[in-house]
Amino acid sequence: MAIRVALLSAVCLSVAASLMSLAAIASAAGKQQAPGEWPMNFALVRNGDCTQTCVQWISAEGAITRDTARRFKTFLKRLKGKKLPVVFQSPGGDVVAALAIGRMIRSAGLETAVGRTQLNGCPMLVPRCPEKIVENGWSQGEVHSGGAYCFSACPLALMGGQIRAAAPGARIGLHQVTINGYRGPEQAAKRDLNAISTRSDPALKQMLSSYFEDMGVSSQDVFAMMGLATPYGFYWVQSTEALKSGIITKVFAYADDPGYIISGTGMAPAAAPPATDIVQ
């Protein structure tokens, strides 16, 4: 009987230890950021060797932080004037940084699009895995417009494109700007549809108005959509609304995807030029 009790106690202790271990693993996993929440980075991507035909684009994915604009400025210098579309997928982030990115895109004469990049060799759950991003050259992958998203501050950066596109299956979301971390009451008794931020900030509204005017976007329409949402949710912008307001200037057909089609010589070159001819 004593042996049975001892065995039972040992089993119980083993099960308890296993459960504690699983709980610790689950807790650690819960604290890890999802790939879409990682800070935004930029990568040159193409879907082939381009000796005949390939698609090329700048992949911009992740959360927009205060440092993102500085890193984008550095990235643009590496392009040496090469014009490629900037393809965004982002949950949003810092408003001031997003405006700076948009202005740099417009100044460089680039186009923008909402799209998601899948790099070759990356798992489906981490489609832009860091180990497959080539820092000073071309990463290899595919780009798709359907199912991509651009939320919060991301549409502000998107507006910088001279031509800006999204597919009917992509999602663009706007909401009120959070001021100094204050998001306001989750359920307000009466909504102020003229409010574009959680606290009144005339300087912010003027800054956004000037930016929208410079980008050819209707501030009246965008402010209305921001006012229809709260900081706890989004106003989902439909394709017709995005076109009317100027958030986008083009809707992709269902068969279209972002990126520039580059035609090569049709023959493999004797010595392929190094990636540093484009990126240093």
Could you read off the pLDDT of 147-206 as tens digits, one per residue?
Answer: 999 999 999 999 999 999 999 999 999 988 876 554 555 554 345 556 776 677 788 899
State the pLDDT at residue 76: 95
- Whether residue 200 contacts residue 154, with contact meaning beta carbons closer than 8 Å, is answered with no
Please enumerate, as own/partner, the contacts of 185-193 that have beta carbons within 8 Å and a separation of 24 or more.
186/230, 186/232, 188/230, 191/227, 191/230, 192/227, 193/224, 193/227, 193/228
CA–CA dist 45, 29 (Å, integer) = 30
Contacts of 118 (CB under 8 A, 6+ apart): 124, 127, 128, 141, 142, 143, 144
Asked which of 53-57, 79-83, 105-109, 172-176 is least confident by mean pLDDT, the reply is 79-83
- Whether residue 129 contacts residue 178, with contact meaning beta carbons closer than 8 Å, is answered with no
Q: Count CB neighbours of 187 within 10 A.
A: 8
Structure-token pair, residue 2: 């004593």
Could you read off the pLDDT of 97-153 as tens digits, one per residue?
Answer: 999 999 999 999 999 999 999 999 999 999 999 999 998 899 999 999 989 999 999
> What are the extents of the domains in the chain?
35-265
Q: Count CB neighbours of 153 within 10 A.
A: 26
- Which bin fits 238, alpha (ψ -120 to 50), beta or left (φ > 0)? beta
For residue 182, report the phi and psi dihedrals to the nearest 5 degrees. Answer: -85, 120
Model confidence band, residue 50 (pLDDT cutoffs 50, 70, 90): confident
Mean pLDDT rounded to a whole number for the chain = 81
The helix-helix angle for 68-78 and 95-108 (nearest 10°) equals 20
State the pLDDT at residue 193: 58
State the pLDDT at residue 5: 42
Q: What is the CATH number of domain 35-265?
A: 3.90.226.10
Contacts of 128 (CB under 8 A, 6+ apart): 35, 43, 59, 61, 117, 118, 119, 122, 141
Structure-token pair, residue 172: 């663009």
Q: Taking the model in full, what pTM does it have?
A: 0.79
Residue bearing the bigger pLDDT, 10 or 52: 52
Percentage with pLDDT > 70 across the chain: 74
CA–CA dist 52, 215 (Å, integer) = 36
User: Tokens 């089993």 appear where?
Assistant: 11
